[in-house]
Amino acid sequence: MAQAETQPPDSDPHLADELKNEAADWLVGLALRCDDRGYVERWCLRIGNGLPPGHPLLGLSALCVGHLSRRFGVVSDEARALVEELAARCERDPSDVDGNALSGLEDVHSYAPRRP
C-alpha cells in the first residue's frame, strides 16, 4: 500500500498564507467578541512572545490588546508591557514588527491608561 506523502504547512506557501490569515481572523474575532479578557490576553501574549521577528502576527497581537482596552477599559500589566515592547520594536525596525503594534499602543494609552 502506498503511503500518502505529507508535507509541513510551511512547505506550501499558499497554505501557510491561508493559515496566517485564518489565525489573524481568529485572534481579531476573539478580541472583538470574546467576553473573557484574560483568555484573549493570554493568546495575545503567547503569540506576541512566541513568534520569530518579522512574523505578521506580532503587530496584530498588540493591535488585539488595543481592541481589548477599547472594550474593557483595562489590560493586564503583562499585556501592556507586550504592546509597549512590540511598538518600540516597530519604531526601531518596521520589518520586525508591523505598524499594527503602534495602533495597539495608541488604543492602550487612550482607553486603558495607567492608574496611579
Tens of pLDDT, residues 97-108: 999 999 999 999
Has residue 30 been placed in a domain? no
Has residue 21 been placed in a domain? no
Has residue 28 been placed in a domain? no
Has residue 41 been placed in a domain? yes
Has residue 26 been placed in a domain? no
pLDDT in tens, 23-61: 999 999 999 999 999 999 999 999 999 999 999 999 999
| pLDDT value at residue 76 | 97
Has residue 23 been placed in a domain? no
Location of C-alpha cell 489573524? 24
Q: How many structural domains are present in the chain?
A: 1
Has residue 7 been placed in a domain? no
Q: Who contacts 36 (Cβ-Cβ below 8 Å, separation ≥6)?
A: none
pLDDT at 65 over 80: yes
Domain ranges, residue 46: 36-111
Query: What is the Cα–Cα distance from 41 to 5, expressed in whole angstroms?
Result: 37
Has residue 63 been placed in a domain? yes
